Amino acid sequence: MTEIGHFIANAPLAGTSGRSQPVYNPATGQSNSSVALASAAEVDHAVALAVAAFPAWGRTPPLRRARILGKFKTMLETRADDLAKVISAEHGKTHDDALGEITRGLEVVEFAIGAPTLLKGEITENVGTGVDSHSMRQALGVVAGITPFNFPAMVPMWMFPVALACGNCFVLKPSERTPSAALMMAEWLAEAGLPEGVFSVVQGDREAVDRLLAHPDVKAISFVGSTPIARHVYTTGTANGKRVQALGGAKNHAIIMPDADLDMATDALMGAAYGSAGERCMAISVAVPVGEETANRLIEKLVPKIEALKIGPASDTATEMGPLVTAAHLEKVRSLVDKGEAEGAKLVVDGRGFAAPQGYEGGYFIGGTLLDNVTPDMTVWKDEIFGPVLSVVRAGDYKEAADIVAQHEYGNGVAIFTRDGNAARTFAQEVEVGMVGINVPIPVPMAFHSFGGWKASLFGDHHMHGPEGVRFYTRLKTITTRWPSGVPTAAEFVMPTMG
Between the two ends of the chain, the Cα-to-Cα distance in Å is 73
Torsion of CA 93, 95, 101, 107, to 10 degrees: 180
Cα–Cα distance for residue pair 333/330, rounded to 1 Å: 5
Tally Cβ neighbours within 10 Å of residue 322: 28
Residue 258 φ then ψ, to 5°: -60, -25
Predicted confidence at residue 499, as pLDDT, reads 60
- Helices (H) and strands (E) counted in the chain, each on its own, are 16, 23
On whether the CB atoms of residues 396 and 257 are closer than 8 A, the answer is no
Predicted confidence at residue 485, as pLDDT, reads 80
For residue 389, the Cα-to-chain-centroid distance in whole angstroms is 20
Residue 11 φ then ψ, to 5°: -155, 150
List the one residue out of 266, 218, 269 whose CA is nearest residue 244. 218
Structural domain boundaries in the chain: 2-248+457-479, 252-438
Which CATH number, 3.40.605.10, 3.10.129.10, 3.30.390.30, 3.40.50.1000, labels domain 2-248+457-479? Answer: 3.40.605.10
Cα–Cα distance for residue pair 441/28, rounded to 1 Å: 31
Judged on CB neighbours under 10 Å (0-12, 13-18, 19+), 457 is buried
Residue among 281, 299, 374, 378 flagged as catalytic: 281
Predicted confidence at residue 415, as pLDDT, reads 98
Cα–Cα distance for residue pair 181/151, rounded to 1 Å: 10
On whether the CB atoms of residues 99 and 186 are closer than 8 A, the answer is no
The pTM for the full model equals 0.96
Cα–Cα distance for residue pair 356/358, rounded to 1 Å: 6
Predicted confidence at residue 498, as pLDDT, reads 64
Predicted confidence at residue 495, as pLDDT, reads 76
Instruction: Assess whether the region 2-248+457-479 and the region 252-438 belong to the same CATH fold.
Output: no
List the one residue out of 352, 281, 278 whose CA is nearest residue 320. 278
Cα–Cα distance for residue pair 279/385, rounded to 1 Å: 9
Predicted confidence at residue 301, as pLDDT, reads 98
Starting at the edge strand that comes first in sequence, how are the strands of the sheet with 30-36 ordered? 2-4, 30-36, 20-25
Predicted confidence at residue 343, as pLDDT, reads 98
E-strand ranges in 257-368 read: 284-289, 346-349
Cα–Cα distance for residue pair 288/398, rounded to 1 Å: 10
Ranges under pLDDT 70 in the chain: 487-488, 498-499
Superfamily covering domain 252-438: Aldehyde Dehydrogenase; Chain A, domain 2 (3.40.309.10)
Judged by DSSP in three states, 267 sits in: helix
On whether the CB atoms of residues 180 and 86 are closer than 8 A, the answer is yes
On whether the CB atoms of residues 186 and 200 are closer than 8 A, the answer is yes
List, in sequence order, the alpha helices (H) in 18-140. 40-59, 62-78, 80-91, 95-112, 115-118
Encode pLDDT of 21-30 as tens digits. Answer: 999 999 999 9
The yes-or-no answer on residue 166 being catalytic is: no
Cα–Cα distance for residue pair 285/267, rounded to 1 Å: 14
Predicted confidence at residue 116, as pLDDT, reads 84
